[in-house]
Amino acid sequence: MNRSLIKSLFIIVSLSAGLLGGVAHAAVQTIRAEVNGMVCAFCAQGIEKKMRSLTQTKEVYVDLKNKVVAVELKEGQVLSTDTVRDLIKDAGYDVSRIETVGSTVEQIRAAVKVGRK
């Protein structure tokens, strides 16, 4: 009886942890754009400033070598890829590919560094 209760509790706790972990993971939303023409930091800062000015933005990452801009959203915030595309265009660049991913900016940054090693 006791053993069965402990087993049930363990399963409930495990499922809850997994579910919560899944919710936390799903909460991360980052818009990742590949940007044509982004060759110099002096010019690319326009993109960073535009993205940081958005109320939905939590963090921004600019990767000059791979021509990638990543905008991580605050939890519960919504931002369309079209808005990001338009802002990048306003900054003077073209977007060749844009998508929403479930990684944080830190994870993207770390993956880029690992890829270079």
Partner 1 sequence: MRFTLRLWLAVLLAAASCAAQAGPMGFKDSWMAMGDFGPNWREAWVNYAVTPRDAVGVGALYMRSDDKTRRRDVAELTYTRLLQRWNSKNSQANVWFLAGAGSVEGNDFSGARTLLSPGIQLDYETTRFYVAATARLYRASGLNHDYGSVRAGFSFYEVDYEETQPWLIVEARRMNDLSDKTEITPMLRLINKGYFVEAGINNSRQFRFNFMHIF
CB of 68 to partner 1, least distance (A): 10
Enumerate binding residues for partner 1 (CB under 8 A): 36-50, 62-65, 67, 89-94, 96
Q: Within 13 Å, how many C-alpha atoms sit on residue 24's CB side?
A: 6
27 or 110: CB nearest partner 1: 110
2 or 53: CB nearest partner 1: 53
12 or 41: CB nearest partner 1: 41
- Amino acid code (one letter) for 49: K
Alpha-carbon dihedral angle through residues 32, 33, 34, 36, given to the nearest 10 degrees: -160
Q: How far is CA 112 from the centre of its chain?
A: 13
Q: Please choose, from the candidates 35, 43, 32, 30, the residue with its C-alpha nearest in 3D space to the C-alpha of residue 89.
A: 35
CB of 74 to partner 1, least distance (A): 22
CB of 91 to partner 1, least distance (A): 4
